[in-house]
Structure 1
């Protein structure tokens, strides 16, 4: 299953507003909650981990992968892609503001390895990452994700 199928057109959000850390995390989980992939406590678990560990999910400049443990509210495997048009400060001194967040909901610790590999391939393609960040529509982003 490719990333476009895992995320779905309705799992892509382009956000224009500036946001706090907590608001950004809530938004990054919103379609996963709507689709029944995670419970509302999943976003709370990410926020609590952020408070304890810092921005552990900011992987590289511009890129984050918010996630929590399966027992923290995962119902079914899922992904959501959120673009922050103006960037969001998730308090990562090393990587700066985040412009693209892909929220991962994994049912167990090993079942999502293929998905992580697909995401890694995407994250390494700077051209596609920049195209996603600057995209004006979920359809354009979906087309890029079909390659992965």
Structure 2
């Protein structure tokens, strides 16, 4: 399920200038495909500014998301892996972003719980961190689905 959502939405970059840029770059494939509007990126950034870096769910991995206020056209997920980590507020280093965009709160919670359970497993998390291209990321996720 997760692998399906991610296909074509996976990027690898050497670095970004800020955590805001990280969210923007991570969400870019979803904007390009019309799954979200640029407003959703603003909502995710505002959410961190307001609530702190709660989206850093496990060390090194952030899961940006926001409530759909009309900016999510289609439930979707994207992935960004950075070679150089970027700092979030409160000294949280992040090198991997999973952007979650859900049309409704049920889809939202399903995606978050699927992803959280995957990332709780060190073995899977390590394999994701070692992935060098889109196919390797998809293969890791398909193993656990």
Asked whether the two chains share a fold, i.e. TM above 0.5, the reply is: yes
**Any runs of at least 4 consecutive aligned residues in structure 1 with deviations exceeding 4 A, and if so which?**
none
Instruction: Give 1:138's aligned residue.
Output: 134
**What is the root-mean-square deviation of aligned Cα atoms in Å?**
1.5
1:29-108 equivalence runs, <5 A: 29-71=27-69, 73-93=71-91, 96-108=92-104
Displacement after TM superposition at 1:113 (Å): 3.5
Q: Which runs of 5+ in 2 are unaligned?
A: none
Change in Cα spacing, 1:39 to 1:18, as seen in structure 2 (3 Å) is: closer
Asked if residue 125 in structure 1 is aligned to residue 121 in structure 2, the reply is: yes
C-alpha contact 1:28 1:101 (8 A) present in aligned 2: yes
111-120 or 32-41, larger mean C-alpha shift = 111-120
Query: Counterpart of 1:41 in 2: which secondary structure?
Result: helix
Q: Which runs of 5+ in 1 are unaligned?
A: none
Larger helix proportion, structure 1 or 2?
A: 2
What is the CA–CA distance in structure 2 between the aligned matches of 1:138 and 1:70, rounded to whole Å? 27
C-alpha contact 1:85 1:133 (8 A) present in aligned 2: no
What is the CA–CA distance in structure 2 between the aligned matches of 1:71 and 1:128, rounded to whole Å? 33
Query: Counterpart of 2:88 in 1: which secondary structure?
Result: coil
Query: Would you say how many aligned residue pairs link Structure 1 and Structure 2?
Result: 144
TM-score (norm 1): 0.88
Residue deviations 1:120-144, cap 9 Å, x none? Answer: 2211121221222222211111111
Asked if residue 22 in structure 1 is aligned to residue 13 in structure 2, the reply is: no
C-alpha contact 1:12 1:138 (8 A) present in aligned 2: yes
Query: Counterpart of 2:69 in 1: which secondary structure?
Result: helix
C-alpha contact 1:85 1:134 (8 A) present in aligned 2: no
